[in-house]
Structure 1
């Protein structure tokens, strides 16, 4: 028996940190737990400091460990922002689609986080889409158009999600992986106002040159 021929090639292993930031109670922990554990609980307590979970995925011959860092949204935890931002390949900027002030706050979160890490890929994510679609159509249009403006300024994909109903959660992380590794993704984009926006092809391509 040829021992060389029967050797198993070691799989490559990579660890990637992803930061999740935004105002308090926008759904950061819900999104993280839904993706990692496929659990949703609307009674999560507010994150104090930094919370994190890990998820292992496989990409071709590579094992990837995603370390998701969820920073508490209260201003007293802003001094811990470097933990969530500095070593992250991607920074998810979360806001609550039903609370426009949390979208406005994204500008300051972006300024501070990307002041620490200019190479990270930004992803703008609106949460609680299931509640958003029950709101006035004019409000939906205003929020959606504002998001698209932010996306252009930040060069960021924009995604509307719902952890409660598993809307665009898995797709969000597929997009993140595709951006980090410069992979072509065949997910159909969703761009009609009122639908759960999923716009990623033209944004988020200039921050990293792949691994």
Structure 2
């Protein structure tokens, strides 16, 4: 089995459930009351997969407008960036293009995007539909677009597996190849030369 490490950054508007998602992915219990993140919160935790163990180096960023100026500094060496919206709060969905622009301007070119529609347990008539969410993901080339519920765990396993798979993609791309390329060139033998 292989071991790998991966930096993951969660971004999105305030109160969309980034911290609850962060805690749920770590294996912690859901908390009904959650204080807003001030600046950033970080945790390193292992995730076991069929391919091996991946150490998630996960960064939960503050979504308040006043902290947006510091969010890009956490993009450094990020392999996966999750934009989280609250499907019951359309304005958080409508701000996804702003977050994508921030990623395009400040994140590594090879960072992968995942769009997460959180709080699917709070679906109502004005909620963002799964189709709208998927269209947004397709428009911005997200490697995964899904609905989650940090409260009841919907989508958490798929999210963790998809992120973990990226660790092995990154690892295989950076490992040296075991193949050796031997090219032989024959030179015409000089008839006038001999070894004796």
Shift of the 58–103 alpha-carbon distance from structure 1 to 2, 3 Å rule, reads: same
Q: Identify which of 2, 12, 16 aligns with 1:22.
A: 12
> What is the correspondence of 1:20-59 to structure 2 with a 5 Å cutoff?
20-59=10-49
What residue number does 1:188 align with? none
Q: Which residue does 1:172 correspond to in 2?
A: 159
The answer (yes or no) to whether the contact 2:130–2:147 under 8 Å persists in 1 is no
Q: Which runs of 5+ in 1 are unaligned?
A: 1-10, 183-206
- Matched with 2:136 is 150
User: Distance in 2 between the 1:160 and 1:91 partners?
Assistant: 16
Kept in 2, the 8 Å contact 1:161–1:168? The answer is yes
Deviates more, 1:22-31 or 1:109-118: 109-118
**CA RMSD, Structure 1 to Structure 2 (Å):** 2.3
In structure 2, the gaps of 5 or more residues are 175-196
Question: Does the 8 Å CA contact 1:13/1:64 hold for their aligned counterparts?
Answer: yes
Q: What is the aligned partner in structure 2 of residue 68 from structure 1? A: 58
Partner Cα distance (1:113, 1:93) in 2: 10
Q: Deviations over 1:60-92 (max 9, x none)?
A: 675431111011001111122123322210000
In terms of Rg, which structure is larger? Answer: 2
The number of equivalent residue pairs is: 172
TM-score (norm 1): 0.74
* Correspondence list, 1:82-101, <5 A: 82-101=72-91
More displaced, 98-107 or 76-85? 76-85
Normalising by structure 2, we get a TM-score of 0.79
